[in-house]
Amino acid sequence: MTDVIGHTSVTRIAPQPTLATEPFWHSGADGRLRVARCRTCGKRMHPPLPICARCRGRDIEMSEVSGKAVVAGFTVNEQPWLPGFPPPYVVAIVALDEDPDVRLTTNMVGCDPASVHVGMRVQVVFERAEDVWLPLFEPDPDAAGEPGPVPQPRDVGVALRPMARTEKYEDKVAITGVGQSRVGRRLMIDPVSLTVDACLEAVADAGLELSDIDGLSTYPGPQLEGGFSEGGLSGVEEALRIHPTWVNGGSEIPGQLGSVMTAMLAVAAGLCKHVLCYRTVWQASHSHMQRTGRWRPPQGRASGMAEFRLPFGASSAANWIACQASYYMHHYGVDRDVLGWIAVTARDGAVRNPEAVYREPMTIEDYYAARMVSSPFGLFDCDVPVDGSVACIVSAADTVADRPKPAVLVEACGTQIMERLSWDQDTLTHLPQSLGPSKHLWSRTALRPDDVDVALLYDGFSFNALSWLEGLGFCGYGEATDFVDGGRGIALGGRLPLNPHGGQLSAGRLHGYGFLREAVLQLRGEATGRQVENARVAAVSAGGGVPSGAMLLRSA
């Protein structure tokens, strides 16, 4: 139990230390903060790593630091995510005084949440949770209200690699079919059944038979927990009996669309001719089953991705990405208006889309009137959990003449990792992993941002779409407010229509694949009621924080 915001006690989920992280979690037993440090060059790092990224030294120690830090980003969480951890509470990213590139995700304690701000000087206090010590932070009484230096953005583009060869795998493939199941809230339909619906529609859309399909690819693989997938390849192959010559299913690929990109590589390499790619979610039904006791989550400590976040109540991506949004607003001096107009414009698109989940018109006043979830994110900054499945067919380019509908060609894919695979250790100005793949995309094509007619950009949160807008170069860093222009710049008929189907913010969280399907419909001229005039080139993105990716598609 601990006092998180001055009056509320919480019960924390303790982290599960690994062989690498155990010294960090135990180091606070004497009230002193320690982080990993390279003995060779002195570079500090967090979490502990077996090799120094600067000098490649292998002699790593746990070294004491002052415990003084500066708030680099924060969010006041208003949403109850975890039993025994009631809101409101502050999740913060703090940068250590000794090295602002070394940061901890933590809770602010001993102060009013409304007083927390970027640049606030803080100091560590420890709380014991079972056999580990959690570093929390409180205002530094010696700071006298003076702000501290916050981390500055770095140029991720210096890591850009040149093309390995002039021949492009993208030129050897095309998207020949798309399909979508019924989409809705709490459909209570078996996710494999939803997947089969989408797959059969995609195969038919491409003018193929199941017997023509010789590859299967999905994301994220066999992860049923959280309603996050249909369960991977096994259930779908068992249902369809395709007997593929090549399969792929996993999460450590370039985002949700990485499953489509790997399919492109397989086709370009000659392993198969037609790959059926699919993505299924049933998070709305899963949440309902949890609330009604029909699905019991596993109990235990926080491990894996959750080890450094869940003990501090940062259980949702809303908490992690809100910290970046707060830094962005501080660094560029903007407010929530730009996020609001992204959300309102998405709803405008959903009104024109009969498949969208939320179709009631929304105003900017409605946006501001909605409850806060995790500042600066309100309800309408967050996408809508749904049940549904989307599928597409990646075919060899030399087969497209036989297809009944125009093929969508692949101009370029952006996949390179240029930022740390971390929610708190590197990029703070934008959604992590939105900048590197964007730069990589443009290095593989002669087209430029001005050539794009429609943008289908991942909007798990409104700030995600903003990050991709700037990352892909449709406007400069910090310039999204002017580019969005009160919604006019991204509306249907604007300079760059953004997510004309409503995006995940209003059409529903199909976790990346919905953007790909909409791009195909737009480029084929089939987006009835929301068609972008003369759409020839579409930018598509998905993911962030973990490996992500972007595509540039064009009509034949």
Write out the two tokens for 357: 């989940």
- Give the tens place of pLDDT for each residue, 462-515: 999 999 999 999 999 999 999 999 999 999 999 999 999 999 999 999 999 999
Distance CA 125, CA 32 (A): 9
Q: Do β-strands 215-218 and 274-282 pair in parallel, antiparallel, or remain unpaired?
A: parallel
**Packing angle between helix 462-471 and helix 317-332, nearest 10 degrees?**
50
Q: Which two tokens stand for residue 325?
A: 């949004």
Task: Give the integer Cα–Cα distance in Å for 451 and 442.
Answer: 12
The reported pTM is 0.95
All structural domains of the chain with their residue ranges = 2-149, 169-287+381-555
Count of H-run helices and E-run strands, the chain:
12, 21
Q: Of 188-192, 264-268, 427-431, which range is least confident? A: 188-192
Looking at residue 224, its pLDDT comes to 60
**What's the pLDDT tens digit per position in 101-133?**
999 999 999 999 999 999 999 999 999 999 999
**Residues 6 or more apart whose Cβ sits within 8 Å of residue 116:** 71, 74, 76, 90, 92, 108
Residue 36 β-bridge partners: 45, 62
Nearest to 315 by CA among 72, 105, 548, 9: 105
pLDDT-derived band at 225, boundaries 50, 70, 90: low
Structure tokens at 379: 């309800």
8 pLDDT tier (thresholds 50, 70, 90): low
Q: Options 3.30.70.100, 3.40.47.10, 3.40.190.10, 3.20.20.70; which CATH number does 169-287+381-555 get? A: 3.40.47.10
Split at pLDDT 50, 70, 90, the class of 424 is very high
Helix (H, G, I), strand (E, B) or coil at 136: strand
Mean of pLDDT values over 376-396:
98
pLDDT (0 to 100) of residue 9 = 79
Cβ within 8 Å of residue 454, ≥6 positions away: 496, 497, 500, 519, 522, 532, 535, 537, 538, 539
The mean pLDDT of 14-24, rounded to a whole number, is 95
**pLDDT value at position 111?**
96
Q: Is the peptide bond before 83 cis (omega within 30 degrees of 0)?
A: no
Radius of gyration of the chain (CA): 23
- Give, for 305, the enclosing helix (H) or strand (E): none
> Which residues touch 70 (CB under 8 Å, ≥6 apart)?
94, 95, 97, 100, 119, 120, 121, 122, 147, 148, 149, 150
Give which of 517, 443, 502, 431 is closest to 471, Cα–Cα: 431
The neighbouring-strand residues paired with 152 are none
d(CA 423, CA 317): 9
At residue 26, the pLDDT reads: 95
Q: Which tens digit of pLDDT belongs to each residue from 280-291? A: 988 888 887 777
